[in-house]
Chains A and B, each alone.
Chain A
């Protein structure tokens, strides 16, 4: 069989692991796919290459396909999220100065309490808090906004959100450009190791089940290459399943460290893969529940309700008609293709394609195609619940 070449863009982050594992452990080859991984210097560059058809698929921030489809980021292009590649995995960190000022208010970080951290943050005496994120259309920005705007002391003038490329986040904190950041691993750990920042929260403490990265492709490519697209999805699904097996984690770190694709040392990869984060230099590692995972609890399923949540935020930022944005956004999270293309793997699928986001405080059994499937937890720190079907 001739191998079908698929050019897939990615950024060198830990959560590109499903793509690297799909290639290195030959899950892609098993599907007759020659998976070419093409490293990109920025999300903008990756987006433009995808829109122009220079790459076939891409590791993307979960809001990117919707932002592109809605014409808000680069050339307006119908881009779909075929599956979720990773759930959670971000960290919030503050400068040493801000950490000390927060402590003066009586706050003591337990790396788990968003409400208390926000109170300390707004009481710290810092007039405007400058926060770094990796891209304007990112889950990082959505989590920060959900977290901070829920606080009674919040005012839009109290925070300034700035995009800084992740590898430079630590430097931006060190030179005083930023007071705080929300970033994916390994860049939070890197800032701690350099002694410039302390981590105060995992992203998962704000939302327990945030779709972080997705596999994106243009609708044109998907329609023109149905077989290749299905094979690619199966290969990546199997890679995520492999990654979430505890016994595979040491080997995963080894493969990722040796791979030319992300070019990071063991110590940078280890914390995120094992979910053991050192929040302060010299502190003991903590293990936040669900810090980063790739497959568990139907993690790969592209829920239409996740798309609706993301679309609602983009509509607010960009002044779009919320109903239209939600309709087009939901259509770009392809739970239909997920069902059709992965059914041959014999995996269990959720019975519905939308859920009430934020409703599950604990792992819960729900109806599935094979009986029962464990979902969640997916609660927000403030108990917020988003029922998009009820709104329709």
Chain B
């Protein structure tokens, strides 16, 4: 594997950073550095002189990194990897995974590609886990709201749980809304009415 290749990962989240480093190390790239604090980016770039810089596409400090790429007096300036349209598929995959990469001008493509593929795969996995966690949290909150709405209906109308849920579902269908939206409206109204 390509141990000579120096890779710098810009990532403030320590767990996520470690995850990416591990993935790259498993892939055989041992020369991986991390910078979490953007104010340290310029000196780090000079000190490490990386061949590739990996950064979250949505990272607000990308503009700072771009500028360093433009004005850097260092011999090796990092330029956006997306300047090359020749590998549109890889570029698109990186974008979808939320990854942006800056590579030193002139670095051979066959040395970049495997690094990116590894990083893309890891970015995707981290992203999916985050989504799943968010979805699980949302589902839990929704269930609590629906339970409260059912309780309100059971009390107000003297019906059982099953009928309360049927009523919620029917109302939602009639109004073309989601059950959770109807439940939320009911809970809000009940709170307002005290």
Contact residues in B for A41 (Cβ distance below 8 Å): 58-60, 62
Contact A162 B58 (CB under 8 A): no
Instruction: Give residues of chain B (65-88) contacting chain A, Cβ–Cβ below 8 Å.
Output: 65-68, 70-71, 80, 82-85
- Contacts between chains A and B (CB distance < 8 A), count: 73
Give chain B nearest CB distance to A299 CB in angstroms. 26
Contact residues in A for B64 (Cβ distance below 8 Å): 162-165
B63 at the interface (CB under 8 A from A): yes
Contact residues in B for A42 (Cβ distance below 8 Å): 58-63
In the bound complex, what is the Cα–Cα distance between A177 and B83 (angstroms)?
A: 30
A75 at the interface (CB under 8 A from B): yes
Contact residues in B for A317 (Cβ distance below 8 Å): 70
Give chain A nearest CB distance to B97 CB in angstroms. 13
In the complex formed, the residue of B with least CB distance to A175 is B39
- Given A42-B62, A44-B66: A51 in contact with B82 (beta carbons within 8 A): yes
Give chain A nearest CB distance to B45 CB in angstroms. 13
B95 at the interface (CB under 8 A from A): yes
In the bound complex, what is the Cα–Cα distance between A165 and B62 (angstroms)?
A: 9
**Binary contact readout A42-57 vs B (1 if CB under 8 angstroms, 0 otherwise):** 1111001101101000
Most buried by B among A136, A177, A317: A136
Contact A165 B67 (CB under 8 A): no
Cβ-neighbour of B71 out of A43, A161, A167, A168 (below 8 A): A161
- Given A71-B83, A136-B71: A165 in contact with B95 (beta carbons within 8 A): no
In the bound complex, what is the Cα–Cα distance between A76 and B91 (angstroms)?
A: 14
B92 at the interface (CB under 8 A from A): yes
Main secondary structure, interface of B, reads: helix
Cβ-neighbour of A136 out of B57, B59, B67 (below 8 A): B67
Cβ-neighbour of B85 out of A76, A136, A168 (below 8 A): A76
A135 at the interface (CB under 8 A from B): yes
**Binary contact readout A159-179 vs B (1 if CB under 8 angstroms, 0 otherwise):** 001111101100000010100
Contact residues in A for B84 (Cβ distance below 8 Å): 75
B100 at the interface (CB under 8 A from A): yes
Give chain A nearest CB distance to B18 CB in angstroms. 23
Most buried by A among B63, B66, B100: B63
A134 at the interface (CB under 8 A from B): yes
A74 at the interface (CB under 8 A from B): yes
Contact residues in A for B62 (Cβ distance below 8 Å): 41-42, 44-45
Contact A48 B63 (CB under 8 A): no
In the bound complex, what is the Cα–Cα distance between A250 and B178 (angstroms)?
A: 37
Give chain B nearest CB distance to A50 CB in angstroms. 12
In the bound complex, what is the Cα–Cα distance between A71 and B67 (angstroms)?
A: 15
Give chain A nearest CB distance to B41 CB in angstroms. 11
In the complex formed, the residue of A with least CB distance to B42 is A162
- Given A44-B100, A163-B67: A177 in contact with B85 (beta carbons within 8 A): no
- Given A42-B59, A45-B58, A52-B91: A76 in contact with B67 (beta carbons within 8 A): no
Q: Which 10 A-B pairs have the closest CB atoms?
A: A163-B67, A44-B62, A136-B67, A165-B60, A75-B82, A42-B62, A41-B58, A163-B64, A42-B63, A41-B60
19 contacts between A and B (CB under 8 A): A41-B59, A42-B59, A44-B62, A44-B66, A48-B82, A48-B95, A48-B100, A49-B95, A52-B92, A74-B83, A75-B80, A161-B71, A163-B63, A163-B64, A164-B64, A165-B61, A165-B64, A167-B60, A177-B39
Residues of B within 8 A of A (CB): 39, 57-68, 70-71, 80, 82-85, 91-92, 95, 100
Sample of 10 further A-B pairs with CB below 8 A, known A44-B62, A74-B80, A134-B63 = A42-B62, A45-B100, A48-B80, A48-B100, A52-B95, A75-B84, A135-B67, A162-B67, A165-B60, A165-B64
